[in-house]
Amino acid sequence: MNINNEKYSFAVIGGDSRQVVIANELIRRGHEVKVFGLGNLGVHCVGAELLTSLEKAVDGSEIILLPLPVTRDNVNLLLASDPKAETVPLIELVRLVSRYKCCAILGGMLPDGICSLCEKEGVFARDYYKSDDLQKKNALPSAEGALMIAMEHTDITVKDMKALVCGYGRIGTLLASMLRSLGADVTVAARRDETLCEISMDGYRSLRLDGNAEELGAAVDACDVVFNTVPSVILTSSVLGRVKSKPLYIEIASLPGGIDLSAARDARIRTVFAPSLPGKYSPRSAGKYIFETISDILAERSINV
């Protein structure tokens, strides 16, 4: 329970099943919770007030909790999939937060412009996904989800799989390790010399991402599955023009992604876009990680949830 025995009013807005986990934990701790923009998922927030108006959700709420990511187009809030749901501009949320004098707004990948607008209005705003600890925790369900997609969309075992992992950050490192532990033939591609050296020292076949198109195209052509974690187009038309096989391409990176979509269609490469993998495959764990991060941020402001 709240160590100071203080109760707060939260508005949990938009997102996916991770937001349900967060709402239920707040309810369990005795806080007042309003929910908006969760569609049919809202019924799983037992004890929350389910609202159909953003204004009603914000009115009277001290702390606004937004999803990860807050938006996909930098214009509108990311609400749960609901054909009846109206789009909600981020700027409208800022206006309401200012009008109703909320004390804090937290969101994942919250646009810097929104943070600036809120703080000009005297409202504390924080992008909780900038937490290094959360990003480390989030890498595991992301890698597991990508692996599950590969298993769902191919007709071979992981042991028989030839995989190319583009990028060797938190997710790429875990994903390559998982694939290798299951017997896959793994190549890892990166740009920087020090990263390529690290890849080789870890025992993987390494490939330079910004090398010649022929070499990268040959590597893609030899693979069953390509996993991309690099948020910039690396598989260009000149690369994909050399691909004769039909590998599965799994996009894990944020926009703009790593593949030229038009060239991918021409090459008949199967593409699966996999945003928010933790929310789809491990929402209870991923929601717990976000809740822990939110709690730490609020504790810095003497708000103990």
Residue 289's domain is classified under what CATH number?
3.40.50.720
Flag whether 188 is in a domain: yes
Flag whether 304 is in a domain: no
Q: Tell me which of 2-16, 43-57, 124-138, 260-274 is least confident.
A: 2-16
Q: Could you give the 3-state DSSP secondary structure of residue 220?
A: helix
Q: Are residues 61 and 144 in the same domain?
A: no
Q: Are residues 159 and 75 in the same domain?
A: no
- pLDDT value for 255: 84
With a cut of 70, say whether residue 253 has pLDDT above it. Answer: yes
Q: Are residues 158 and 252 in the same domain?
A: yes
Q: Are residues 106 and 196 in the same domain?
A: no
Distance between CA atoms of residues 194 and 261, nearest Å = 30
The number of domains in the chain is 2
Flag whether 79 is in a domain: yes
- pLDDT value for 2: 42
**CA-CA distances (angstroms) from residue 288 to 18, 37, 43, 115?**
8, 20, 19, 24
Q: Which long-range contacts (CB under 8 A, 24 or more apart) does 237-246 make?
A: 237/262, 237/263, 237/266, 238/213, 239/213, 240/264, 240/266, 240/267, 240/269, 241/217, 241/267, 242/213, 242/214, 242/217, 242/218, 243/217, 243/267, 243/269, 245/221, 246/270
For the stretch 80-129, pLDDT in tens is: 865 555 689 999 999 999 999 999 999 999 999 999 999 898 999 999 99
**CA-CA distances (angstroms) from residue 293 to 17, 79, 99, 271?**
17, 21, 27, 33
Q: Are residues 80 and 177 in the same domain?
A: no
For the stretch 153-191, pLDDT in tens is: 999 999 999 999 999 999 999 999 999 999 999 999 999
Query: Which of 192 and 2 is assigned the larger pLDDT?
Result: 192
With a cut of 70, say whether residue 247 has pLDDT above it. Answer: yes
Flag whether 14 is in a domain: yes
Q: Are residues 121 and 146 in the same domain?
A: no
Q: Are residues 116 and 205 in the same domain?
A: no
- pLDDT value for 82: 57
Mean pLDDT computed over every residue of the chain: 94
- CA torsion through residues 209, 212, 218, 221, sign: positive
Whole-model pTM: value is 0.91
Question: CA 253, 258, 260, 263: dihedral to nearest 10 degrees?
Answer: -110
Flag whether 305 is in a domain: no
- pLDDT value for 84: 55
- pLDDT value for 3: 39
Q: Are residues 224 and 103 in the same domain?
A: no
Flag whether 24 is in a domain: yes
Q: Are residues 251 and 290 in the same domain?
A: no
Q: Are residues 13 and 122 in the same domain?
A: yes
For the chain, percent of residues with pLDDT exceeding 90: 89
Distance between CA atoms of residues 157 and 280, nearest Å = 22
Residue 233 lies in domain: 138-274
Flag whether 75 is in a domain: yes
Question: CA 43, 48, 54, 60: dihedral to nearest 10 degrees?
Answer: 170
Q: Are residues 256 and 288 in the same domain?
A: no
Q: Are residues 145 and 269 in the same domain?
A: yes
Distance between CA atoms of residues 22 and 297, nearest Å = 15
Q: Which residue has the tokens 């939260």?
A: 10
Flag whether 2 is in a domain: no
